[in-house]
Amino acid sequence: MSQKLSILLVEDEENLHEALRLNLELEGYEVTSAYDGAQALEKVASEYFDLIILDVMLPEADGIHVTETIRVRNNEVPILILSAKNNSSDKVLGLKKGADDYMTKPFNLEELLLRVHKLIEKNKKLQDKETVGNTYSFGKNQVDFKAQEAVNKNGEKIQLSKKEAMLLKLLIENKNEVVPREKILQTVWGYNVYPTTRTIDNFILNFRKYFEEDSRNPIYFHSVRGVGYKYTEEN
């Protein structure tokens, strides 16, 4: 069964919060609740979400500040802002700071659900990079993802675990781009709440041992401190 899509709902007005949560759950989404800006940022730092619905007027930190902070952290999660203010300068500011969509209260519930669906779909399309086939070569290495094995520069055969094969494929499909650790843990481990970064570090160390000429000076597999991991290949 495919995993439920997860939404972070950040709204401090309790009746509206409950009504939205109920309707989103009826649509089949998994909803996590936050009632102020600080709580929202805490949740975003420790969990993966497919979408955030964010009220502008919040205690602790307002929705605009929350949006800005999420974007500064390089998190590209789609953000739909809700606002009681109906003036265009607020809307422009919200979109400028990185929101993907903006709705003013009161809103039509069906329209909100439609926009939620569209934002998630659009984001999925962006995330699905060009996929590599079952086999892939780089340098003197050859990987067979399906058979979960590789042949390295010395002609040695390496058995890969399922997670190693998945991580390798994810990094190669996003070559020359940093893949955030949240995305790796969600895609490869399927967690919503993550284990330590150490877990991925160990996999990257293994890849260096398998495939690099000099594992201390890697050409292909890199850790980008505090952000994620990257597979590099000269075009």
Count of structural domains, the chain: 2
Give the C-alpha separation, 160 to 163, whole Å. 8
Give the C-alpha separation, 7 to 148, whole Å. 33
pLDDT tens digits for range 152-190:
988 999 999 988 999 999 999 888 888 887 788 778 877
- 1 in a structural domain: no
- Asked if 180 and 214 sit in the same domain, the reply is yes
Q: What is the pTM of this model?
A: 0.61
- Asked if 12 and 122 sit in the same domain, the reply is yes
Provide the pLDDT for residue 128: 63
Provide the pLDDT for residue 197: 66
Specify the CATH number for the domain of residue 164: 1.10.10.10
- Asked if 33 and 121 sit in the same domain, the reply is yes
Q: Within its chain, how far is the Cα of 218 from the centroid?
A: 25
Contacts of 106 (CB under 8 A, 6+ apart): none
Pairing of strands 141-144, 135-138: antiparallel
Provide the pLDDT for residue 1: 38
Provide the pLDDT for residue 200: 87
- Asked if 13 and 97 sit in the same domain, the reply is yes
3-state secondary structure of 87: coil
Q: How many CA atoms lie within 13 A of 83 on its CB side?
A: 22
- Asked if 91 and 177 sit in the same domain, the reply is no
Provide the pLDDT for residue 85: 74
Closest by CA position to 143, among listed 177, 174, 167, 178: 167
Task: Classify residue 129 by its DSSP letter.
Answer: P
Dihedral sign for Cα 219, 224, 230, 234, please: negative
Range of the domain at 46: 6-127
Specify the CATH number for the domain of residue 122: 3.40.50.2300
- 165 in a structural domain: yes
Give the C-alpha separation, 163 to 113, whole Å. 34
Kindly give the parts of the chain with pLDDT less than 50: 1
- Asked if 18 and 113 sit in the same domain, the reply is yes
- Asked if 115 and 194 sit in the same domain, the reply is no
- Asked if 20 and 59 sit in the same domain, the reply is yes
- Asked if 23 and 87 sit in the same domain, the reply is yes
Provide the pLDDT for residue 129: 58
Spatial contact of 150 and 144, defined as CB atoms under 8 Å apart: yes
Provide the pLDDT for residue 227: 83
- Asked if 54 and 15 sit in the same domain, the reply is yes
Last residue of a domain, one of 104, 127, 150: 127
Beta bridge partners of 32: 8
